[in-house]
Amino acid sequence: MSEAVPLAEVWRGDFLESVHRGHAVIADATGTVIQAWGDPDQVILPRSACKMIQALPLIESGAADAFRLTDRHIALACASHQGAPIHTGLVTSWLSALGLGDDDLRCGPQFPSDREAANALIRAGQMPCQVHNNCSGKHTGFLTVARHAGADPEYIDPDHPVQIRVREVFEEVTGEASPGYAIDGCSAPNFATTVLGLARGMARFAAPSTLGALEPAATRAVRAMLAHPELVAGEGRACTELMRAMDGRVALKTGAEGVFTAILPERGLGVALKIEDGATRASECAITSILVELEAMNPHHPAARKRRNAPIPNRRGIEAAWIRPAQGAFSRG
């Protein structure tokens, strides 16, 4: 078994201050490894980086069409949004169309990471609701599947029909039996796989004909993400800015604890990475570096420079440190 390797570094002056190690894989839909860093067989929890897989039952079950969902709804089902009005408004109207409300969600409340939305709540003396949770789109998708199937409302139960189907499609897409699950920050089960399995899954979204009956659902999920990057994350966020920078040619999804995935339809490739210490700054630097390595991302684009070879200012705004691709990890450093 290979160990995690350096993928991102922080330099302060002439001193290497921090090293972020991890595992990463570029694969095709057959599971052939195009390039790897660390251990492709490392078992990880993909966290929110697999939301497009979790959204597949919403589409393939017929629930999305039955409730007349648009690509905006599908993008939000794949999202880790920041609780801006563009996100919470759509979730609220979606729940209303189902005849449901905030209390029917099981993701828990969360203060918006969108500053204006958070400040608006504070000024109004209000606490956040569950619709503000970054996973509320995914959970509303789960509720839609449950309502369509006539299942009970406790959709986050691992033995609920919704989660049973999520696990089935997860294993089909990744090409691996999941060794188990843990409970995610939003209370839904999060099924484990290897870094290679996750990369293979992303490649199958990039080449959806390899997914058989799931092809239409996977095609629609990717189309929705590419068409609505503002819903997948939000203004200023890595997923949104990087997807825009690549002109809708690559779909990206971040996950907690240093996970990131990418879908490259033009190349039929998928990428998955996991930073060992869980640092978001490192996962953003590493995914950007891999996209530069694949010549999918212009290294000089402001969205790339914001996360790769990027200054870290101190309290006075002085560029005191830099986060960079690890030396020797990428040929296009």
How far CA 46 is from CA of 64, 90, 207, in Å, comes to 24, 26, 20
Closest C-alpha among 170, 129, 133, 144 to residue 70:
144
Q: Is the pLDDT of residue 298 over 90?
A: yes
Q: Which residue has the tokens 């997807």?
A: 243
Closest C-alpha among 292, 207, 253, 287 to residue 37:
287
Q: Is the pLDDT of residue 294 over 80?
A: yes
Partners of residue 262 on adjacent β-strands:
252, 271
What is the pLDDT of the chain when averaged over all its residues?
Answer: 97
For position 1, what pLDDT does the model report?
58
Q: Where are the alpha helices (DSSP H) in 79-135?
A: 85-97, 115-123
Closest C-alpha among 46, 21, 23, 3 to residue 176:
46
Token pair of 247 as six digits: 């002109």
Overall average pLDDT of the 300-306 stretch: 98
Q: 189-191 and 193-194: which strand pairing?
A: unpaired
Burial state string for 294-323 with b = 16 or more CB within 10 A and e = fewer than 16: bebbebebebbebbbbbeeeeeeeeeebbb
Residue 321, sorted as left (phi over 0), alpha (psi -120 to 50) or beta, turns out to be beta
pTM of the model: 0.97
Closest C-alpha among 58, 285, 18 to residue 162:
58
Q: How confident is the model at residue 332 (pLDDT cuts 50, 70, 90)?
A: confident
Partners of residue 259 on adjacent β-strands:
255, 274
CA distance 12 to 7: 17
pLDDT, tens digit, for every residue of 247-268?
999 999 999 999 999 999 999 9
Torsion of CA 240, 243, 245, 247, to 10 degrees: -130
Query: What distance lies between CA 191 and its chain's CA centroid?
Result: 14
Q: Are 33 and 25 in contact (CB under 8 A)?
A: yes
Please give the share of the chain, as a percent, with pLDDT higher than 90: 98
pLDDT, tens digit, for every residue of 50-76?
999 999 999 999 999 999 999 999 999
How far CA 156 is from CA of 58, 106, 146, in Å, comes to 14, 7, 10
Q: What is the CATH number of domain 5-325?
A: 3.40.710
Burial state string for 208-245 with b = 16 or more CB within 10 A and e = fewer than 16: bebbeebbebbbbbbbbbbbbbbbbbbeebbbbbbbeb
pLDDT, tens digit, for every residue of 107-130?
999 999 999 999 999 999 999 999
Report phi then psi at 31, rounded to 5: 90, 5
For position 35, what pLDDT does the model report?
98
Q: Give the DSSP letter of residue 123.
A: H
For position 333, what pLDDT does the model report?
73
Overall average pLDDT of the 217-221 stretch: 98
Q: Are 236 and 175 in contact (CB under 8 A)?
A: no
Query: What distance lies between CA 125 and its chain's CA centroid?
Result: 32
Report phi then psi at 284, rounded to 5: -70, -40
pLDDT, tens digit, for every residue of 144-201?
999 999 999 999 999 999 999 999 999 999 999 999 999 999 999 999 999 999 999 9
